[in-house]
């Protein structure tokens, strides 16, 4: 981070005290830091604190031009190598998503062409509000990167997700971003499938499963951080696409099959984390099926086994499958590894607490074709994704052959 120019935009919340510590950490790491503050932020910590820690002027008023020959918010916007909004309140996220520029912070953010990172901090219910989630999704689409808040005791008294990430962690993420070393997946294309498939019965009914797509999205995001070109094939639209990831929208198992088989030749690695339906209705209706006396019999047919068909290709990429089980985990995972000709199977027992669908954590065991078995403890899905990708990189570095 030596010599990197970071503009820290501080907005009004109790977590401002962490922004002061973050300023100090960034400066200690070698970065040049300038701080812009909203009026609300100044109610919690004075600009003088940030001036002392950054050893630079602090910007609070768009009408205060410190140098007559420069327009301050344009000069700051052009100066920065990275803009970091921390803490980012719900109000600030809403302004950014809607292009509102009514103070020093928002005008500078709107004017910059530098990467913009956002570190939210707010009450757990505010963070989960549909309006806030929508605004976050908009900013993802604009290319902003988010540093997810942590979970724990909040200043409002609630316990939940909403704590500003710790300054040490944010500093490490920025240092990694600026790392000039070669990323382990640079030059590689990674195809990831995520979430459930949706099998239509009629215009209002469908068959699906409980997969949220969070594990696949985490893998896609971490692969992109490692330098890969990532193709994310998914039916999930309620999760924002990770920065730098190309999302390809599908719905049914048939859609996913066609998309994956059309793309796999571009990929060096295919990670099949989607929960693809094993069966789909034989007959579908374009009109809503009305209730009839007696039972309804729904005829189902097997869907195509995407993992198996990929494994049978003579030019198959490095192939990773997932196995969500409720019993006989190792037996079923090893059988899948062999039958599908996969190179790695990531298995988890979804009946265990912390390893089921929709959560933010996972407990997995990795089975590799060379016989290796790696058991991971309870981890966040992002950390689980990193560990899976590290195992893939290790295999590739050892001269994996198709």
Show which residues are catalytic.
156
- Residue 276 contacts by C-beta under 8 Å, 6 or more apart in sequence? 193, 197, 253, 256, 303, 306
Token pair recorded at residue 197: 């498939």
Cα separation, 128 vs 136, in Å, equals: 11
DSSP per-residue codes, 225-291: HTT-EEEEEES--SSPPPTTEEEEE--SHHHHHHHHHHHGGG-SEEEE-SB--SEEES---SSPPPP
Pick from 402, 365, 370, 371: nearest CA to 387: 365
Neighbours of 397 (CB within 10 A): 9
Cβ burial, residue 271 (10 Å; 0-12/13-18/19+): buried
Beta strand 229-234 with 189-194 is: parallel
Cα separation, 208 vs 221, in Å, equals: 24
């Amino acid at each position: 981070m030596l010599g990197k120019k970071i503009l820290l935009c501080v907005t009004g919340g109790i977590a401002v005290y962490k922004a002061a510590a973050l300023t100090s950490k960034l400066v200690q790491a070698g970065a040049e830091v300038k701080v812009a503050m909203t009026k609300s932020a100044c109610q919690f910590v004075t600009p003088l604190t940030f001036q002392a820690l950054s050893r630079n002027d602090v910007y609070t008023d768009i009408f205060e031009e410190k140098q007559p020959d420069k327009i301050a918010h344009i000069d700051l916007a052009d100066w920065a190598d990275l803009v970091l909004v921390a803490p980012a309140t719900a109000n600030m996220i809403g302004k950014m998503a809607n292009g509102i520029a009514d103070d020093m912070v928002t005008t500078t953010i709107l004017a910059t062409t530098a990467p913009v990172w956002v570190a939210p901090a707010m009450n757990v219910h505010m963070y989960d509000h549909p309006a806030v989630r929508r605004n976050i999704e908009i900013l993802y689409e604009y290319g902003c990167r988010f540093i997810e808040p942590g979970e724990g005791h909040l200043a409002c008294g609630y316990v939940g997700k909403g704590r500003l990430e710790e300054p040490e962690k944010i500093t490490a993420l920025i240092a990694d971003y600026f790392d000039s070393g070669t990323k382990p997946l640079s030059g590689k294309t990674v195809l990831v499938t995520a979430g459930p498939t949706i099998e239509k019965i009629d215009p209002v009914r469908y068959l699906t499963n409980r997969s949220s797509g969070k594990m696949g999205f985490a893998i896609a995001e971490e692969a992109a951080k490692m330098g890969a070109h990532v193709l994310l094939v998914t039916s999930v639209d309620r999760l924002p696409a990770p920065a730098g990831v190309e999302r390809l929208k599908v719905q049914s198992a048939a859609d996913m099959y066609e998309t994956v088989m059309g793309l796999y030749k571009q990929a060096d690695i295919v990670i099949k984390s989607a929960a693809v339906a094993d069966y789909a209705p034989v007959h579908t209706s374009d009109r809503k099926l009305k209730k009839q006396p007696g039972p309804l019999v729904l005829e189902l047919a097997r869907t195509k086994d995407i993992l198996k068909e990929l494994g049978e290709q003579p030019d198959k990429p490095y192939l990773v499958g997932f196995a969500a089980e409720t019993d006989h985990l190792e037996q079923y995972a090893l059988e899948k590894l062999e039958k599908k000709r996969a190179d790695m199977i990531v298995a988890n027992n979804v009946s265990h607490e912390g390893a089921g669908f929709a959560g933010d954590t996972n407990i997995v065991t990795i089975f590799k074709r060379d016989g290796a078995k790696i058991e991971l403890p309870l981890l966040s899905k992002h950390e689980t994704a990193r560990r899976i990708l590290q195992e893939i990189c290790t295999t590739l570095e050892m001269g994996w052959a198709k």
